[in-house]
A = this chain, B = another copy of it.
Amino acid sequence: MAALIPALPALARVIRPSTLLEPARLRRRLGLDVFLASETFQHTGSFKFRAAYHVASSITQNRVITASSGNFGQAMACACQMLGKECRVVMPDTSAAVKIEAVREYGGTVELIDVKRKGRQERVRELAAADPEAYVASPYDDPLVIEGNSSLGEELGLLTRSLDCVLTPVGGGGLASGLVQGLRRSGRGIQVFGVEPHVANDAARSLRAGRLLANDTEPATLADGVRTLSLGRHNWAILQDGLTDIVEVSELEIQEGVRLLFLYANLKVEPTGALGVAALLARPDLFRDRSVCCVVSGGNVDPGVFCRILGG
């Protein structure tokens, strides 16, 4: 069917600008001057495309290998498809069928593995050894990823409205470090706050300790986009003094964030995308009398998960 679809109009920029929303009813409920930068309508439905496209268009290699069960795999497959490159995505064989289908739809080759028998990184190393001319792409720990994500920081830095601080989910730190880097270019002194689930607070602990700490196991948070063991090293180097603070939120606050965005902003967001609003619920006094932008990182969520949250 793909051949039936005309190409996107030549005038369209490749990276879609973030969708800026100022929902009156959400603002009233939170009692804060908040607006949203939603990446749910970015190519492949999350901010990850910013990084993936920058990586794929910057490297000389024509083949990319990556491990991702989530948004980065889709984003890299799509970016490679647009650029006429090949993309292999290593995914656990327990991944949801819709996620595997999405990567394939964007032309990616899916390598399913039994993670009990072989780790994802191990399989990536095998594939890389067999194809030394391929580029092995990390979803966050790569200066090219950070630079790609910095485009969102630049967009926000150019806004003519008042903006004191930006709230962003923190997993591997790719988005947060990109925002810090992009916002610095505006010279406006806009602060960046990270947001982490309590149960996945490795970055908050790292910031307090002044050194990079990791979770022992993949954290069991609803926000599947931040189920990482630790920040990447390149990300930590930027976030160590680039983040103003990290707000930790409960799983219930994440759910309430998803619900509020549905009810009062007409937005469909994945749990990770609601972390910013969850932080405003958790620590409203931190943001009183300030202009706050919540980055809604993505919208890819299964109907079943979504409706359980809405009904909960």
In contact, B19 and A19 (Cβ under 8 angstroms): yes
- Any chain B CB within 8 A of the CB of A25? yes
The interface bits of chain A over 278-310 (1 if a CB of B lies within 8 angstroms of the residue's CB, else 0) are 000000000000010000000110011011001
In contact, A24 and B43 (Cβ under 8 angstroms): yes
B contact residues around A307 at 8 Å (CB): 303, 306-307, 310-311
- Any chain B CB within 8 A of the CB of A268? yes
Of the listed stretches A27-35, A141-149, A211-219, name the one at the interface; the rest are far from the partner chain.
A27-35
- Any chain B CB within 8 A of the CB of A209? no
- Any chain B CB within 8 A of the CB of A168? no
The interface bits of chain A over 11-33 (1 if a CB of B lies within 8 angstroms of the residue's CB, else 0) are 11000000101111101110111
The smallest C-beta distance from A311 to any residue of chain B, in angstroms, reads 7
- Any chain B CB within 8 A of the CB of A45? yes
In contact, B268 and A45 (Cβ under 8 angstroms): no
- Any chain B CB within 8 A of the CB of A161? yes
Closest to A291 in B: B6
The smallest C-beta distance from A237 to any residue of chain B, in angstroms, reads 33
B contact residues around A102 at 8 Å (CB): 25
B contact residues around A27 at 8 Å (CB): 5
Closest to A98 in B: B263
In contact, A299 and B266 (Cβ under 8 angstroms): yes
In contact, A28 and B41 (Cβ under 8 angstroms): no
Closest to A12 in B: B22
In contact, A25 and B268 (Cβ under 8 angstroms): no
- Any chain B CB within 8 A of the CB of A40? yes
Report if A9-B299 is in contact (Cβ < 8 Å); known contacts: A19-B19, A45-B266, A267-B268. no
A6 is contacted by which of B33, B268, B304 (Cβ under 8 Å)? B33
CA distance A265 to B11 in the complex (A): 21
A303 is contacted by which of B29, B300, B303, B310 (Cβ under 8 Å)? B310
Q: What are 20 A-B pairs with beta-carbon distances under 8 A?
A: A1-B28, A4-B31, A4-B32, A5-B28, A5-B31, A5-B32, A9-B162, A12-B22, A12-B161, A23-B41, A24-B43, A25-B102, A40-B266, A41-B265, A259-B303, A262-B268, A262-B303, A266-B268, A266-B300, A268-B268
Closest 3 CB pairs of A and B: A266-B299, A307-B307, A303-B310
Given A1-B31, A5-B24, A266-B299: 19 more A-B contacts, CB < 8 Å:
A1-B29, A4-B31, A5-B27, A9-B160, A9-B161, A9-B162, A11-B160, A11-B161, A19-B19, A28-B105, A45-B266, A259-B303, A262-B268, A262-B303, A266-B268, A266-B300, A268-B268, A307-B307, A307-B311
Using CB atoms and an 8 Å cutoff, list the residues of chain A in contact with chain B: 1-2, 4-6, 8-9, 11-12, 19, 21-25, 27-29, 31-33, 40-41, 43, 45, 78, 102, 105, 160-162, 259, 262-263, 265-268, 291, 299-300, 303-304, 306-307, 310-311
